[in-house]
Structure 1
Amino acid sequence: MTVFRTFDMILVAIMICAAGITYKVKYDAQKRIGEVQRIERQIVAEKNTINLLHAEWAMMIEPERMQVLVTRYQDQLGLQVTDARQIIKLQDIPERLPDQIENLIKDDELEEKNSLLARNGNANVDNIATGSVRP
């Protein structure tokens, strides 16, 4: 009879431990859910802010507003209207002449190539024919 009471006490202790662990897991899960909900609210707030900034940007670059600003600050900015003759094709742009540094680099590369060719000219040519290379 005492064996059953001892066994019952052990089972009760195990059940209390299991209940405590279950409570802790549930509490941690609720804490994580609250954290996820907070992050989701932050994401929604950031998306709303981005949408608001997009709308504000659209208002800032509105052509009528830009024209008013151009006329207001014409003297300070020195802006001029773009003429049709100012727009050209890419092929019409003259090629940029190389500067001194580019010339030095080209000369240095040319010297390296010449020195390599000079060294290779003195080297013996390998005349051994292998199966993969045709003579």
Structure 2
Amino acid sequence: MFRTLDVVMIAIMTAAATVTYSIKHQAENKLEDVRKLDAEIKLEEDTIDLLKADWALLTQPNRLNRLVQTFDSDLKLVPTESTQLARPNELPMPTAELPALPDEELAKTKKPASRTDVIQTGSVAR
């Protein structure tokens, strides 16, 4: 009835069908994941567009001017003078605070710890 070759061919066709089905199933799962990600991206883009529109509405000059006039007595806002602007090199150098050392540890150090950092901006060679 069945020859050995027929049995081998049936086994090969069954294995090929199984592999094909599993690949198809994996591809469908990946496609579903891609569709979910596309939906999430679209939701985020819509949210960003909505927030941009809200920001544009909230920062309209006419609205801000009305708010300034309404809360003028509370805020006491005034226009910035040109003399109030400073360049970065005119700003004071920030200093780093060193942690306080207990007296025992302070005595063990060879020289007393400085309380501030004296390195000027740009003084480190690169």
TM-score by length of 1: 0.60
Aligned-pair distance for 1:9? 0.8
Aligned-pair distance for 1:27? 0.7
Gaps of 5+ in 1: 110-135
Query: Which residue matches 2:68?
Result: 70
Query: Which residue matches 1:7?
Result: 5
Query: Which residue matches 1:120?
Result: none
Query: Which residue matches 1:46?
Result: 44
Q: 1:34 to 1:10 in 2, by over 3 A?
A: same
Aligned-pair distance for 1:30? 0.8
Query: Which residue matches 2:82?
Result: 87
Aligned-pair distance for 1:38? 1.2
Query: After TM superposition, which residue ranges in structure 1, 4 or more long, deviate above 3 angstroms?
Result: 88-92, 95-102
Residue 17, structure 1, aligned to residue 12, structure 2: no
Following the alignment from structure 1 to structure 2, what is the Cα–Cα distance between the partners of residues 51 and 66? 22
Structure with the larger helix share: 1
Aligned-pair distance for 1:43? 0.9
Match of 2:53 among 52, 55, 62: 55
Q: Which has the higher contact order (CA 8 A, sep 6+)?
A: 2
- Answer with 1 or 2: which has the greater Rg: 1
Following the alignment from structure 1 to structure 2, what is the Cα–Cα distance between the partners of residues 14 and 99? 77
Identity among equivalent pairs (%): 32
TM-score by length of 2: 0.63
Following the alignment from structure 1 to structure 2, what is the Cα–Cα distance between the partners of residues 62 and 26? 54
RMSD: 3.2
Aligned-pair distance for 1:99? 9.0
**One-letter amino acid of the counterpart of residue 14, structure 2:** I
